Amino acid sequence: MTPNNQLMASGRSIEDIKSELDALYQKETAGLLGLYRGKKTWRTWVDWRLKTELIRQLYSTKQERDALFFTTNIIGYPGERVLNYDSNGSAYFPTLRHEQILNPKDWRDRLPTSNFKKKKWPPILVEDLLTTWQDDCLDCGKGSNHHCRCNYIAWKTRLEEDWMFTFEIQYLGDPPIGYGLFSRDPFNPNEILGEATGQLEPREIHEKQTDDQASYSLSIPIGSTVPRSKKGQKEAVCYINAKYVGNHFRFLMHSCNPNSQFLIGRIGNRRVAAIQALKKIRPGDLITVDYGEDWWMKGKEKCRCGETTCRRSS
């Protein structure tokens, strides 16, 4: 991992940006206190524009350093750096990436699934695995095998460019609870919140991982066409593992009565694992999904969602 204090191409490090944001935070809290006491000398518009730009720089993935996650305080400033722990107690900082990642070495000695031709295997690029017209387009609604003009890059940029102003990460408690993702904007039922990202891993790697290593994994079909699985035949899937690298949706928490769900579809000709609202989501709501039976069968602790309909509390 690139050292966190390495200078960016623009000459600004994470520490430089965070220090400037901390100074703005002190100024804004002092201004809010003065406003509360009836003083009218506080100028907010200059600070707001600078604050917005600095937060964008802090989370930028276009620089020569790793982008990290931060919690968000009550008036929208980055707080503490998000720190996770492995099952053995080792600490690590998860890295922010908005796109799927594929390491060709992970796939080099793997046998192709039945829906891949030899000339297209092993995959080198993400597109080699996730290019398809088979699924329904989640942007325009066109059905399977109906070509559309929707652009995956444009869609993704629209949803995730300013994600840090749409969602926020909050610390909810010591492990195994950890961090949660909250909405800062409203979402309507069936609205797409974004796409889950991480490291694309073959089934063979996933099946050899410990429960801890696979705890942030989500399966997604691979290949331009996905055949119906036959008896005794494994599905043509890979796994999006967001344990060490991924986007903000790695912080989705489980609920037995979730307000969103994972939805496999496509944008243009790119297959995605999207997050879709199941019900009305209001600003301040915790974003939740149902992790599914397979996740709970791996010896995880009992569910702590607190819902009256909780199915796994004992």
| 278 lies in the same domain as 188 | yes
Please give the Cα distance from 267 to 137 (Å, whole number). Answer: 5
Q: Is residue 103 part of a domain?
A: yes
| 49 lies in the same domain as 135 | no
CA angle 199/56/97 to nearest 5° reads 5
The predicted-structure confidence for 51-73, as pLDDT tens digits, reads as follows 999 999 999 887 767 899 999 99
> What pLDDT was estimated at residue 174?
81
> What pLDDT was estimated at residue 5?
40
User: Tokens standing for 213?
Assistant: 């290593």
| 153 lies in the same domain as 268 | yes
Q: How many domains does the chain contain in total?
A: 2
The CATH number of residue 230's host domain is 2.170.270.10
| 194 lies in the same domain as 244 | yes
Q: Is residue 259 part of a domain?
A: yes
Buried b vs exposed e over 79-116: b needs ≥16 C-beta within 10 Å?
beebebeeeeeeeeebbbbbebbbeeebbeeeebbeeb
pLDDT category, 10, cuts 50, 70, 90? low
Q: What distance lies between CA 279 and its chain's CA centroid?
A: 20
| 67 lies in the same domain as 159 | no
Per-residue pLDDT at 6 exceeds 70: no
- Lowest mean pLDDT segment, chosen from 150-159, 206-215, 253-262, 303-312: 303-312
Please give the Cα distance from 73 to 79 (Å, whole number). Answer: 6
Query: H or E stretch including 297?
Result: none
Q: Average per-residue pLDDT in the chain?
A: 86
| 25 lies in the same domain as 168 | no
| 43 lies in the same domain as 150 | no
Backbone angles phi, psi at 265, to 5 degrees: -160, -160
193 CB contacts (<8 Å, ≥6 apart)?
159, 187, 249, 260, 274, 275, 276, 277, 287
Over range 191-195, report the average pLDDT.
97
Q: Is residue 89 part of a domain?
A: no
| 30 lies in the same domain as 121 | no
| 116 lies in the same domain as 38 | no
Please report how many Cα atoms fall inside a 13 Å half-sphere around the Cα of residue 213, on the Cβ side.
9
Q: With contact defined as beta carbons under 8 Å apart, do 8 and 65 qualify?
A: yes
Cis check for the bond before 176: say yes or no (omega within 30 of 0). yes
100 vs 111: which has the higher pLDDT: 100
| 174 lies in the same domain as 47 | no
Q: Is residue 243 part of a domain?
A: yes
| 156 lies in the same domain as 202 | yes
CA angle 121/124/126 to nearest 5° reads 105
Pairing of strands 288-289, 253-254: parallel
Q: Is residue 91 part of a domain?
A: no
| 209 lies in the same domain as 279 | yes
> What pLDDT was estimated at residue 298?
62
Q: Is residue 92 part of a domain?
A: no
Domain that holds residue 27: 14-81
Q: Is residue 93 part of a domain?
A: no
Q: Is residue 1 part of a domain?
A: no
Query: For the whole model, what pTM was predicted?
Result: 0.88
3-state DSSP: the chain helix, strand, coil percent, rounded to 5?
25, 25, 55
> What pLDDT was estimated at residue 257?
93
The predicted-structure confidence for 25-61, as pLDDT tens digits, reads as follows 888 887 665 554 555 554 555 578 889 999 999 998 8
Cis check for the bond before 122: say yes or no (omega within 30 of 0). yes
Question: Sign of dihedral through CA atoms 165, 166, 172, 176?
Answer: negative
Sheet holding 237-241, edge to edge: 199-202, 237-241, 217-221
Coil, helix or strand for 213? coil
